[in-house]
Amino acid sequence: MNFVDNFSDSPKANHIFTQQNVPIFQNKVYSSKREALGANRGIVELVQSTISGFIFNKTFDPAIMNYDANYQNEQSNSAFFKEHLRSVIRLLKQFGINNKNKIVEIGCGKGVFFEMMLEDGLNCWGFDPTYEGSNKRIIKEYFSELYNDINADVIIMRHTLEHIPKPFSFLHQIAKANHYKGYLFVEVPTFDWIVEKEAFWDIFYEHCNYFTESSLSIMFDKANTDSFFGGQYIYLWADLAKLRTFIPTKSFKRFNTLFFEDSINKFTQMLKSNGAIAIWGAGAKGSTFLNLLDSEHKHIKYVIDINPAKQNKFIAGTGHPIYSPDKIKEFPIDGIIVMNENYISEIKLMLTCTGINIYNL
């Protein structure tokens, strides 16, 4: 099928937001502070296509991105997130996925969701260069044109498409490898939530793309979309036969230049006036927050994370140490800023009787 990628190749794109000198990987942690301080940096310059409404980082350079075993974005240590993964499987079953289908997960990460599908009796195969396990069903490589006959009934991409430049072309690559048959399920963060929350900490170099339900669904003649995970994520379910050959010009929500000064000032004052502070969450949100508000490591003592793969490592760009919750006893603090509001109840239970103030973004 011949197609024209006018999704991101727009002759005009309106400026939205710029970040200077930020680490290119927010989900890589480092074994030493020195390594962390020397992390590669880049510029985020978000623009919006005047054709599709698609939002992307026009300064993104895919050549410098190397997703390897040091990339740690797994969230399933959280019971709340594990329940989200179970809800995704239930949703897929509502769409008709069953154990007779061949499922291919592109970007399966450390394989947690993949293994959950296998345990549920689903016939899964996967691709991801960051996978560290031994399951022979997962190919430790990027999905590419080398795989031109995957013969899948369902293709799943969870938190992958936002990392890929020219996503419309990539979907055509996938569809071609599957002979434009089968169904596609995509899960990505939504830009609408970022704007609504003034969440400057949720914009980072790793994500070269930012989607809304409109810009996600416009790539298909027909698609089902909705939000979940407390409104932070959106999903798409679509027939690959309905993938458009070009993007039609339609009306869409336009985002003007974003100014996060009020939000940044609010948290700057919080850091200055609330004693010894730690943040909870060594993922992309926490890394970005630290690099923008405490780049010289003056206000925030350390980072807490329940993922053992991140503990006793250091945050890219700033060198903040990452500890398990047990370290609070050894290194007392007055307050904790929780980087993702979805985990606030879970964290409060873990910190019962500590007397530590908990702040929600």
DSSP sequence for 10-67: -S-EEEEEEEEEEES-SSBEESSHHHHHT--EEEEEEEEETTT--EEETT--GGG---
Predicted confidence band of residue 196 (pLDDT cuts 50, 70, 90): very high
Looking at the structure, tell me whether residues 229 and 321 fall in a common domain: no
CATH number at residue 297: 3.40.50.720
Q: Are residues 71 and 216 in the same domain?
A: yes
Together in a domain, 192 and 272? no
Q: Is-contact 128 74, C-beta < 8 A?
A: no
301 inside domain: yes
- Residue 63: inside a domain: yes
Q: What is the C-alpha radius of gyration for the chain, rounded to an integer number of angstroms? A: 20
Lowest mean pLDDT among 97-111, 194-208, 258-272: 258-272
**Tens digits of residue pLDDT in 212-256:** 999 999 999 999 999 999 999 999 999 999 999 999 888 888 998
Q: How many domains does the chain have?
A: 2
Do 108 and 63 share a domain, yes or no? yes
CA 224 to CA 238: how far, in whole Å? 6
The mean per-residue pLDDT over the stretch 167-173 comes to 96
Judge whether 258 lies within some domain.
no
Say what percent of the chain tops pLDDT 90: 72
Confidence of residue 205 (pLDDT cuts 50, 70, 90): very high
pLDDT at 10 over 80: no
238, 220 Cβ separation under 8 angstroms: yes
* Other beta carbons within 10 Å of 141: 12
The confidence band for 270, taking pLDDT boundaries of 50, 70 and 90, is confident
Q: Is 184 found in the same domain as 40?
A: yes
- 73 with 27: CB under 8 angstroms? yes
Q: Position 247: which residue type?
A: I
Answer yes or no: is 249 within a domain. no
Q: Is residue 4 part of a domain?
A: no
pLDDT of residue 76: 65
Distance of CA 333 to the CA centre of its chain: 29
The strand pairing partners of 233, in sequence order, are 189, 228
Q: Which residues contact 312 (CB under 8 A, 6 or more apart)?
A: 321, 322, 323
Q: What is the pLDDT of residue 11?
A: 67
First to last CA, the chain: 46
Q: What CATH number did the domain enclosing 90 receive? A: 3.40.50.150
Are 318 and 294 within 8 A, CB to CB? yes
Is the pLDDT confidence value at 275 over 90? no
- Residue 61's domain comprises 13-242
Is residue 103 within 8 Å of 157, Cβ to Cβ? no
Q: Which of 219, 231, 232, 236 is nearest to 92 (CA)?
A: 236
Same domain, 43 and 133: yes
Q: What is the pLDDT of residue 187?
A: 98
Q: How far is it, in rounded angstroms, from Cα 305 to Cα 280?
A: 6
Per-residue pLDDT at 23: 94
DSSP β-bridge partners for residue 304? 280, 323
User: Within this chain, do residues 158 and 190 fall inside the same structural domain, yes or no?
Assistant: yes
269 and 326 inside one domain: yes
DSSP string, 155-214: EEEES-GGGSSSHHHHHHHHHHHTTT-SEEEEEEEBHHHHHHHT-GGG--TT--EEB-HH
Q: Are residues 273 and 235 in the same domain?
A: no
Quote the percentage of the chain above a pLDDT of 70: 99
Mean pLDDT of 144-165: 94
CA–CA–CA angle 32, 33, 35 (5° rounding): 65
Which amino acid is it at 263?
Answer: S
Quote the pLDDT of residue 292.
Answer: 92
Mean of all residue pLDDT scores within the chain: 92
The reply to whether 45 falls in a domain is: yes
Distance CA 15, CA 43 (A): 14
135 shares its domain with 197:
yes
In a domain, 324, yes or no: yes
- Give Cβ neighbours of residue 315 (< 8 Å, ≥ 6 apart): 29, 30, 36, 282, 286, 287, 290, 303, 321, 322
pLDDT single digits (tens) 322-355: 999 999 989 999 999 999 999 999 999 888 877 8
Q: Beta 322-323 vs 300-304: how paired, if at all?
A: parallel
Quote the DSSP letter at residue 117.
Answer: H
Residues 238 and 267 in one domain: no
At 259 the pLDDT is: 82
Domain end, chosen from 210, 242, 274, is at 242
Alpha-carbon dihedral sign for residues 110, 113, 116, 120: negative
Query: Using CA atoms, how far apart are residues 31 and 279, in angstroms rounded to an integer?
Result: 19
Instruction: Measure the CA–CA gap between 73 and 310, rounded to whole angstroms.
Output: 9
